[in-house]
Structure 1
């Protein structure tokens, strides 16, 4: 009898495996009530049991996904909080796989990662809509002011349950909650970020602590990130307080700024650093990834976050709120870190997210010490870079000292990375390192920058910027529409806070329409080239801005610094009366620390009283 049991136990897995693998390599999901009420266990089991499958196809319908029976994994997510997540779609180590929703809607519950793609190639997600049953943010309408006492009342919609705890509001979700944290107001009629929103938001939630004793005696041997989730609390205390004046209506006290306009929609998503826990799509260390005809209504973080991947195509991606919500994703619509090959983003519609539409950049990491003639100890500069791998064997790594130049002073070849912990790694190089490396120097991966095509997209209604670009490879931004709270296009070197690398070059901005950008209140160029470093070193080269239409309610069209070679040609600048001007004395064009700047064949009908402002060291620039 004992032998019989052993034989049967060996045969059972073979029988299950034979039954599970589909003859046509397709997993077909029927829309039955039993599956659709919580599709997580069924879909997960099908994927785990059918690793040879090439696609999973859903019968059209609405499917709910709960975390309780999802695959539990700890993931490092760049620009997010690193957390344990549950997923029904662990697309890991696949070569050729398609998820086809056939028009289905997937509704997620709690802190789930809907699509987790890692170390795979030729993966496509198509024909599906993603949403969450309960949002990771909350919304309410400003309904009353008390000018004398400088208070305001907000009626929170029924979709956003809350509790008041010791005068602080906490919003209760499925498997999640958030406090007030980061806030901004939306215009209810335009369903977009409010005009001059910086006058009244963010809500003043904290202030400096009044009582401190011996805290200055706490010392650290190594450099620390004062913005991480522990140290950021030092020296601050709660400022704002709240009370409920009737069910659903909360009064806010001690706000420093102007009172937010009555009728505006106050949105809140909790504390920075804690509020990015559930992006809709995560792609890491993968190649030839595509999304086509996908709608993302919401995510508790970014819509799409891609790291260390190659050849990425997003076509007909739509990010837009569902129902009566004014917010889509609570962070960037799309974000790309350390990618290579080519990124193509075409025919997409990205609106109402609480951060940028597109951000493409590399990563700086900071030298802690030189350990040998070919080894460096390095640290992640920002706490949301934890766990990030800067490259792979054979990649060219640049050694950078930004005080001297944005260009690396030496290039070396990466041999391997030894991970000591989530923030400290040891990098070994194939060559000997040069003399003179010091703690505080940066490294960047010169191999991991992509070519970029951004064409025929719409970017509107969101907080922050439209497109951020940091790659020296050819980048084309063509025939897009921009209506953004801040800059439409920002070309940065964000070295001091976010440690985002990439000195943009070979940029072609052609045939776009920019309408009433920077309406949030900041005095900046609609297109802006800017570095965090306060020096005159050249960061950006070969910038071409041609044949665009700028519809401007305010003055500043273009702001340029640290640039060698920019052509602004054949553009039309028109005035609008959509909003009152905010910065009546600002010039149309601001240039500093730059050279070889050319303006020709432009048609300017803007409102700016002064056309050009340049620093004294620059050669004369003539507008044509």
Structure 2
């Protein structure tokens, strides 16, 4: 029998006036002590969440800030640790988040569902600036009402909202610090990365009130960008909006996400994750178009199954879906022990292996496997403190390291954490990057999705041991029944980083029954180092398709 824990019984305020954070902390603590399934219920209403009374934890999260100690402490509205059989049921409520606060963390837990609410941030760290008016030597800019700013001495500074605890803004950035820029055309429904011209050659800044700023320029030219939205941010991914770590059977469903702060939802060294029937979409009625500070979903080292179905991905600042493992570079070899290092600065601080995991050595130049072994012991970072080095670790294996393996020339992948994946029935639009990045040897299907005018490849399959160090090879992939509307080309791209051709890196790829609506001639498929590639029964309209096949074997294109 499911027990219901009503958060309002612990003091949560469904009227949206008071901070509900401490009440929810108490309600979660109570739920942890109950036996059997628990439904953590938020009776329909509006709930405010501030960071000051949220529980603080030291966490290290893949693809964020790596070992940077200035951001090691994280706070979440819901910190779900060491729990089982819990459902967070929003009952159709709205959650308003404040400050630098993540939405949820699921840590060392199992059978957890987060469902049925809308949420947004009051003052996102991405500032969506709309060009409301242009004329000779000036623009009038419109800023969403939730983003405070200061104009003084012809300088513009954007602020976070003011903390009720300290009386100071949660963050403050000048326009020079907000150097990362994307441009959104709301008429064409397209977003791309580009330079920010709004504050170059400025003669004068004037606050017109009502969230409007006039910018006068030294040049007399009239710009042609009226109506465009410049999405401005500084690039620090200080936390994740959702964090799933060392957990199993976690489901995120029926959420309406207005903005994901810091990073998206990260699944890290976990098992069986489902993300279904959510809307990741900013509130356009208040001038916002950014729904995520970076990626929306990042599955970094997951095993079992990853199921992503029926979602709307609209307005990210990076890839909506990225499923991958992590290559660690070999830095020391001694018998059955091997020293490893995280190579990309955004990923560090957490253990990448457990005793009993199967690992594979991989040649960096060819990406060919050089033998597998089972982990017996691990000595390295814990993921919850900095008591040990954060970028290196040592694993002990059940056999000697292969003689061919040398420091700096090989990487290691955790083969045990390579999931089967199903990505189906999703819509991708207003995306500046790729739609789906996928590198896993588990059987995977990408089917019946709509990719609408993405600015890079709609589907990208790499295996990268040189830049991002995101592993690994594809072994069984079906791309079927998708619509690619007005795509950038190549539309589907297999791009492993092997620098020496040898055996194919990826194997077993079927691309069938898709529709490609090209805006002109272009590459429908670009494939490098794929064995067993079949492209059949697809429909291409609007342009002359091209195909680039390099270093592949057993290829059928018809």
TM-score of the alignment, normalized to the shorter chain, above 0.5: yes
**How far apart, CA to CA, are the structure 2 residues paired with 1:184 and 1:155?**
16
Q: Is the 8 A contact 1:377 1:427 kept in 2?
A: yes
**How far apart, CA to CA, are the structure 2 residues paired with 1:33 and 1:102?**
11
Say which structure is richer in strand. Answer: 2
**How far apart, CA to CA, are the structure 2 residues paired with 1:165 and 1:300?**
28
1:582 equivalent in structure 2: none
Instruction: Evaluate the alpha carbon distance shift between residue 170 and residue 386 of structure 1 in structure 2; reply closer, same or farther with a 3 A threshold.
Output: farther
2:5 matched to 1:27? yes
2:73 matched to 1:84? yes
1:317 equivalent in structure 2: 278
**How far apart, CA to CA, are the structure 2 residues paired with 1:314 and 1:86?**
22
1:246 equivalent in structure 2: 206
Q: Is the 8 A contact 2:341 2:392 kept in 1?
A: yes
**How far apart, CA to CA, are the structure 2 residues paired with 1:51 and 1:508?**
41
Q: Is the 8 A contact 1:191 1:326 kept in 2?
A: no
Instruction: Evaluate the alpha carbon distance shift between residue 168 and residue 498 of structure 1 in structure 2; reply closer, same or farther with a 3 A threshold.
Output: farther
Helix, strand or coil for the counterpart of 1:42?
helix
What is the TM-score with the length of structure 2 in the denominator?
A: 0.86
Instruction: Evaluate the alpha carbon distance shift between residue 163 and residue 251 of structure 1 in structure 2; reply closer, same or farther with a 3 A threshold.
Output: same
Query: RMSD of the alignment, in Å?
Result: 2.7
What is the CA-CA distance between 1:317 and the residue it aligns to? Answer: 1.6
2:491 matched to 1:502? no
What is the CA-CA distance between 1:35 and the residue it aligns to? Answer: 7.5
What is the CA-CA distance between 1:45 and the residue it aligns to? Answer: 1.4
**How far apart, CA to CA, are the structure 1 residues paired with 2:468 and 2:414?**
16
**How far apart, CA to CA, are the structure 2 residues paired with 1:73 and 1:56?**
22
2:392 equivalent in structure 1: 424
2:147 matched to 1:160? yes
2:412 equivalent in structure 1: 443
**How far apart, CA to CA, are the structure 2 residues paired with 1:360 and 1:24?**
33
After superposition, the C-alpha distances for 1:85-118 in whole angstroms (9 at most, x for unaligned) are 2223221111211101111111110111221101
Q: Is the 8 A contact 2:319 2:434 kept in 1?
A: yes
**How far apart, CA to CA, are the structure 1 residues paired with 2:189 and 2:485?**
16
Within the candidate set 172, 177, 197, 1:177 is matched to 172
Helix, strand or coil for the counterpart of 1:442?
strand
Q: Is the 8 A contact 2:130 2:227 kept in 1?
A: yes
Instruction: Evaluate the alpha carbon distance shift between residue 300 and residue 35 of structure 1 in structure 2; reply closer, same or farther with a 3 A threshold.
Output: closer
Q: Is the 8 A contact 1:240 1:252 kept in 2?
A: no
2:225 equivalent in structure 1: 261
What is the CA-CA distance between 1:287 and the residue it aligns to? Answer: 0.6
What is the CA-CA distance between 1:260 and the residue it aligns to? Answer: 7.3
1:326 equivalent in structure 2: 289
**How far apart, CA to CA, are the structure 1 residues paired with 2:430 and 2:260?**
17
What is the CA-CA distance between 1:279 and the residue it aligns to? Answer: 2.6
2:39 matched to 1:55? yes
Q: Looking at CA atoms only, which structure, 1 or 2, has the larger radius of gyration?
A: 1
2:542 equivalent in structure 1: 575
2:267 matched to 1:306? yes
2:164 equivalent in structure 1: none
Within the candidate set 505, 508, 524, 1:557 is matched to 524
Q: Is the 8 A contact 1:169 1:242 kept in 2?
A: no
**How far apart, CA to CA, are the structure 1 residues paired with 2:217 and 2:535?**
48
Unaligned runs of 5+ in 2: 66-70, 162-169, 381-387
Unaligned runs of 5+ in 1: 1-22, 206-238, 519-523, 577-585, 601-624
1:39 equivalent in structure 2: 20
1:297 equivalent in structure 2: 258
Higher relative contact order (CA 8 A, sep 6+): 2
1:598 equivalent in structure 2: 556
**How far apart, CA to CA, are the structure 1 residues paired with 2:340 and 2:152?**
42
Helix, strand or coil for the counterpart of 2:416?
coil
Q: How many residues align?
A: 517
1:188 equivalent in structure 2: 186
Helix, strand or coil for the counterpart of 1:389?
coil
Within the candidate set 538, 541, 546, 2:512 is matched to 546
1:203 equivalent in structure 2: 196
Q: Where do 1:506-545 residues align within 5 Å?
A: 506-518=476-488, 524-537=489-502, 538-545=504-511
**How far apart, CA to CA, are the structure 2 residues paired with 1:380 and 1:36?**
45
What is the CA-CA distance between 1:402 and the residue it aligns to? Answer: 2.0
**How far apart, CA to CA, are the structure 1 residues paired with 2:392 and 2:475?**
31
What is the CA-CA distance between 1:245 and the residue it aligns to? Answer: 2.5
What is the TM-score with the length of structure 1 in the denominator?
A: 0.77
Within the candidate set 335, 340, 348, 1:378 is matched to 340
**How far apart, CA to CA, are the structure 1 residues paired with 2:240 and 2:305?**
22
Instruction: Evaluate the alpha carbon distance shift between residue 249 and residue 532 of structure 1 in structure 2; reply closer, same or farther with a 3 A threshold.
Output: farther
What is the CA-CA distance between 1:320 and the residue it aligns to? Answer: 0.7
Instruction: Evaluate the alpha carbon distance shift between residue 71 and residue 260 of structure 1 in structure 2; reply closer, same or farther with a 3 A threshold.
Output: farther
**How far apart, CA to CA, are the structure 1 residues paired with 2:474 and 2:204?**
50
After superposition, the C-alpha distances for 1:25-69 in whole angstroms (9 at most, x for unaligned) are 321123646875211011101212442242211100110101111
After superposition, the C-alpha distances for 1:358-407 in whole angstroms (9 at most, x for unaligned) are 1000101111212x31212211101111113222111111111121x323
2:111 equivalent in structure 1: 122
2:357 equivalent in structure 1: 395
Instruction: Evaluate the alpha carbon distance shift between residue 250 and residue 588 of structure 1 in structure 2; reply closer, same or farther with a 3 A threshold.
Output: farther
2:448 matched to 1:479? yes
Helix, strand or coil for the counterpart of 2:32?
coil
Q: Is the 8 A contact 1:129 1:294 kept in 2?
A: yes
**How far apart, CA to CA, are the structure 1 residues paired with 2:155 and 2:477?**
47
1:453 equivalent in structure 2: 422
Instruction: Evaluate the alpha carbon distance shift between residue 540 and residue 128 of structure 1 in structure 2; reply closer, same or farther with a 3 A threshold.
Output: same
Helix, strand or coil for the counterpart of 1:381?
coil
**How far apart, CA to CA, are the structure 2 residues paired with 1:448 and 1:569?**
31
2:165 equivalent in structure 1: none
2:252 matched to 1:282? no
What is the CA-CA distance between 1:167 and the residue it aligns to? Answer: 7.6
Q: Is the 8 A contact 1:243 1:250 kept in 2?
A: no
Comparing 344-353 and 427-436, the one that deviates more: 427-436
